[in-house]
Amino acid sequence: MGKYRAPINLWGEEMTGVRTKIQNIVLSVTYEDTEFNLKKLARSLDGAVYEPEVFPGITYKSEHPSASFLIFSSGKMNCVGARSMSDANQAIRKLTRKLGKVHIKVKTEPKVKVQNIVASVDFGRKFDLEDIARSFENTEYNPEVFPGLVFRLDDPKAVLLLFVSGKGVCAGVKSMKDVKKATQKVNKILPRKSEK
């Protein structure tokens, strides 16, 4: 008899009872050897907001795909709000083209680095958060302040917020592979007896 394999979902992934969905990707974007004149750039980009007395950079929102940018004079940006790497890369490419159209010389393609991925998680079962807090040292739980339990992992480096409902949030990871690894690890190490 062959080795058992979990069923496969529509995306070709094994179904392990844990469902994840990216909610936000945070990336740093660096245009090497480039400086931006923020006053000029803010006037040239539709919808850009530049209030140097409030914030030292431009805030700019891309509509299709949806992503927001913080743009600094150093040639560095932060891209937040994309829900996939494909959307994030497309938003960055569109903004790079817009920079060229408003005569801002970008010498090379930007260097892009994932800083954080936030994903919602559904473990498909309920948790006894009190029991988990007593059983694991790498947790924080104070239901009078916040209804979720903070569960920290070192490998992969991740923070999961767990709720009684069996739903949660995974943050602090830098790849979708690590989201899956972290959520599957937590699902495996949390005993079924912690279900209520």
CATH, range 26-115: 3.30.310.10
Task: Give the architecture (CATH level 2) of 123-190.
Answer: 2-Layer Sandwich (3.30)
Integer Cα distance of 97 and 62 in angstroms: 13
- Residue 148: per-residue pLDDT: 97
- Residue 105: per-residue pLDDT: 82
- Residue 179: per-residue pLDDT: 95
One fold for both 26-115 and 123-190? yes
**Helix, strand, coil tally for the chain in percent (to 5):** 25, 35, 40
Burial class (CB in 10 A: 0-12, 13-18, 19+), 14: exposed
- How many CA atoms within 13 Å lie on the side-chain side of 51? 4
pTM of the model: 0.83
- Residue 171: per-residue pLDDT: 97
Integer Cα distance of 14 and 33 in angstroms: 44
Q: What is the pLDDT along the chain (196 residues), one digit of tens a residue?
A: 444 344 444 434 444 579 999 999 999 999 998 999 999 999 999 999 999 999 999 999 998 899 999 999 999 999 999 999 999 999 999 999 999 888 888 878 899 999 999 999 999 999 999 999 999 999 999 999 999 999 999 999 999 999 999 999 999 999 999 999 999 999 999 866 544 4
Could you state, in order of their start, the residue ranges of all structural domains in the chain?
A: 26-115, 123-190
